[in-house]
């Protein structure tokens, strides 16, 4: 039974002789017989092998064929984080109330901003 069949063998079942590495049939072959003798009969022609071509590589436009490296990634992450912090900070300063407000006044102020934005 090979590994790709649906039903694995039950613990009580025995394996076929050819697939069992400990069977006497598998132990009859000596290690010297398992390898071909390359020194004798060297005048014979080798068998032709069939060569399959590789699938064509994907080609991208010239403007997309650039090399990226770790410094590019680090710079991108720093730029993204910096942009996030700067934009959020500017929006917080622009929309922050100019004087100290209690909870009810702050809620009314933010509600008026939301209705003005729509």
Q: What is the DSSP string of 13-49?
A: SPPPTTT-TTSHHHHSS-HHHHS--SSTTTTSPPPP-
pLDDT of residue 83: 97
Residue spans per domain, the chain: 71-112
Q: What is the chain's length?
A: 118
Q: Is the pTM of this model over 0.85?
A: no
Give pLDDT tens digits for 90-105: 998 988 888 888 999 9
* Diameter over CA atoms, the chain: 101
Ranges of residues in the chain with a pLDDT under 70 are 1-48, 116-118
């Amino acid at each position: 039974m090979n590994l790709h069949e649906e039903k694995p063998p039950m613990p009580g079942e025995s394996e076929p002789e050819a697939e069992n590495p400990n069977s006497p049939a598998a132990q009859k072959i000596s290690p010297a017989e398992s390898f071909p003798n390359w020194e004798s009969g060297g005048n014979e022609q080798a068998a032709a092998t069939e060569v399959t071509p590789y699938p064509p590589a994907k080609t991208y436009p010239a403007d997309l064929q650039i090399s990226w490296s770790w410094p590019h990634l680090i710079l991108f992450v720093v730029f993204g984080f910096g942009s996030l912090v700067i934009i959020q900070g500017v929006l917080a300063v622009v929309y922050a109330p100019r004087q100290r407000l209690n909870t009810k006044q702050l809620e009314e102020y933010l509600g008026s901003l939301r209705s003005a934005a729509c």
